[in-house]
Structure 1
Amino acid sequence: MMDRQELGFCGPGLMGAPMIRHLLGAGHAVRVWNRTREKAEALVADGARVAAAPRELAQHAEIVLLCVADAAAVEAVVFGADGLLGAPFDAQGGQQGDPAGRTRVRCIVDHSSIPPDATRALAARAAALGVGWVDAPVSGGVTGAQAGTLAVMAGGADADIALVAPILAAYSARVTHMGTVGAGQTTKLCNQAIVTATVAAIAEAVSLARRSGIDAARLPEALAGGWADSALLRTFVPRMTQDGLDPIGALKTFQKDVDTIAAAAQQTGTPMPVSGTVQQLLRLGAAMGLAQADLSGFIDVLQTPRSIAR
């Protein structure tokens, strides 16, 4: 049986909020913090407690989970002035200038998608303070977070993975240990290379169907069971052919990920021409003012006056 414990969680957004609800449903006490306090307070009705700053989480929880926007946000949450590990440690392990309590954090689990080299640098700083680090980006989107079926790709020491895996099971279908710190983030880049290229291809297919005079909304039905069938096809064709659906993320998130893929490709000498094309498509979308559009916004980048209205 999974041990119930008090956890900290930074970043109750579209992904983080349902993950927190699953942790609460599994019997954990969860103290949450978000830069926008209202997002944290929205979870009080579910049983969460709201922290005034990340530092407060460090005084109560041995394991703190993060799901924030980018590497800069991760660094600020962990090492900022009010961060989890932000104040210098004294010889007894207390935090200087923070007499109210000592840090209890044993391990930080980062669900954010950030560059592997940034992860390794942050983990090294945490390790110098005796704190473990697991990079654990996820795949499955908001739907997977709500259903508790996320795929977690993890990097970190064996002992740290063993410590946190039972906790992650509250909202994941599986946790795959891919290697040392940074390996989870590299695996997520592989995931995003496939996802972004596929969504871009789906947008092209929808555009071709429309311009050819067929009902693009029927593509999932027509392609069901064939090689083109996929969860992405079934998710994104409706989002590209219907209005009024709740957003599942912003196109700028895809742009951030593809820019990180490009940097990793350059560092490793990996030819990635398809991802390069997707990167340019996303930059065009940003120039068109679509950075905040839904992830299905690829279709809007491809629109011209000849396009058939939705």
Structure 2
Amino acid sequence: MDGQVLGFCGPGLMGAPMIRHLLRAGHAVRVWNRSPAKAQALIADGAQVAATPGELAREADVVLLCVADAAAVEQVVFGEHGLLAGMPGVRVRRIVDHSSIPPDATRRLAERAAAFGVGWIDAPVSGGVAGAQNGTLAIMAGGAAADVEAVTPILGAYAARVTHMGGVGAGQTTKLCNQAIVTATVAAIAEAVSLARRSGIEAAKLPEALAGGWADSTLLRTFVPRMTQDGFESIGALKTFQKDVDTIAAAAAQTGTPMPVSGTVQQLLRLAAAMGLEQADFSGFIDVLQTPRSGEA
């Protein structure tokens, strides 16, 4: 490729297939993960494993992150043995954060990185595990135009498109808009499945019945089977939706934006957590709504 070495922190459900796409595209990739086994699993694909983020920062020109939350991002970048922990010989010039974290946290982290001469691109993704596996993710990017332009060819290994939405934090704000739509839609699908079941119709046939109509969507086709059948592998936990919706609520408060639907979804997710469903698949909304009626077993 162009001779740049890439680093990647966080080879999880999303990160691992993204790394494999980078390797197949011919990039040299160094990988780090808090749980070493997940990084080592990529050696067979051609990745090299770094012992710490700091080691990775001395070897890579661009480092990509895909971790759980803002605290994890801060720890990976500025914590002990972090990418920018003040150690000599740091090579990295740009950090691309694919994590979904609050916009204001992103801006604070970017300011700290700028003191090291490192550009920050917040680049959350949409498309789920399937999009990562198929290389068809949608990426919404925030940062300086030159930085976004410089990393776009790299991101093209696993993204169908990269859209520059504005300065640092704009990508994260766009992801919040995405998650407001996604979480509300999945909750609505669960309500529809619940109504179908209680009305005595075959809920599993909803995608077929609604195909081509206004209710048809990727989410409908993805989640009705997951809500009506067993045997699917998890594509994400409800606690992740909870984190995102809590962040949406904070952004709405900061901007004075009325978001009554997201507020209802937030309470539904809190109920799920109270029921012990934090680790349930995204489709677990249906488990909250399908509580037995009086007189039912």
Into which bin does the TM-score normalised by the smaller protein fall?
over 0.9
Cα offsets for 1:233-263 (capped at 9, x unmatched): 0000000011110100000000000000000
Instruction: Quote the Cα distance in structure 1 between the aligned partners of 2:269 and 2:243.
Output: 9
User: 2:141 touches 2:171 (CA, 8 Å); kept in 1?
Assistant: yes
Decide whether aligned partners of structure 1 residues 202 and 209 sit closer, same or farther in structure 2, where only a CA change above 3 A counts: same
Which of residues 176, 191, 196 is equivalent to 1:189? 176
Residue correspondence of structure 1 range 264-283 to structure 2 within 5 A: 264-283=251-270
- Within 5 A, what are the aligned runs for 1:80-119? 80-87=79-86, 95=87, 98=88, 102-119=89-106
SS in 2 for 1:228: coil
Cα distance in structure 2, aligned partners of 1:36 and 1:9: 14
Give the Cα–Cα distance (whole angstroms) in 1 for the partners of residues 14 and 155 of structure 2.
Answer: 14
**Which whole-Å CA distance do the structure 2 matches of 1:35 and 1:47 have between them?**
19
How far does residue 4 in structure 1 lie from its aligned partner after superposition? 4.8
Encode CA deviations 1:97-153: one digit per residue, 9 max, x unaligned.
x5xxx0001000000000000000000000011000000000000000000000000
Structure 1 residue 5: Cα displacement: 2.7
Matched, 1:252 2:251: no
Kept after mapping to 1: 8 A contact 2:61/2:93: yes
Name the residue aligned to 1:207: 194
Q: C-alpha distance in 1, partners of 2:250/2:65?
A: 23
Q: Distance in 2 between matches of 1:175 and 1:226?
A: 28
- Normalising by structure 1, we get a TM-score of 0.94
**CA offset at residue 303 of structure 1?**
1.5
Give the root-mean-square deviation of aligned CA atoms.
1.2
- How much does 1:79 deviate? 0.2
Deviation at 1:25, TM superposition (A): 0.4
State the Cα distance separating 1:304 from its structure 2 match: 1.4
1:144-163 equivalences under 5 Å are 144-163=131-150
- Aligned-residue offset at 1:162: 1.1
Aligned to 2:28: 29
- SS class of match (2:248): helix
Secondary structure in structure 1 of the residue aligned to 2:138: strand
Contact residue 4 and residue 27 of structure 1 kept, 8 A: no
Give 5+ residue unaligned stretches, structure 1.
Answer: 88-94
Contact conserved, 1:153 with 1:176, CA < 8 A, in 2? Answer: yes
* C-alpha contact (below 8 Å) 1:110/1:134 kept by paired residues: yes
Contact kept in structure 1, 2:4 and 2:62, CA below 8 Å = no
- Please give the alpha-carbon distance, in whole angstroms, between the structure 1 residues aligned to 2:244 and 2:108: 19
- Tell me how far apart the structure 2 counterparts of residues 207 and 162 of structure 1 sit (CA, whole Å): 46
Determine which of 279, 288, 292 is the counterpart of 2:279: 292
Identity level (%) = 83
- Secondary structure of the corresponding residue to residue 73 of structure 1: helix
Q: How many residues align?
A: 295
Unaligned runs of 5+ in 2: none
* CA–CA distance in structure 2, aligned partners of residues 284 and 4 of structure 1: 50
For the residues of structure 1 that align with 2:175 and 2:292, how far apart are their CA atoms? Answer: 36
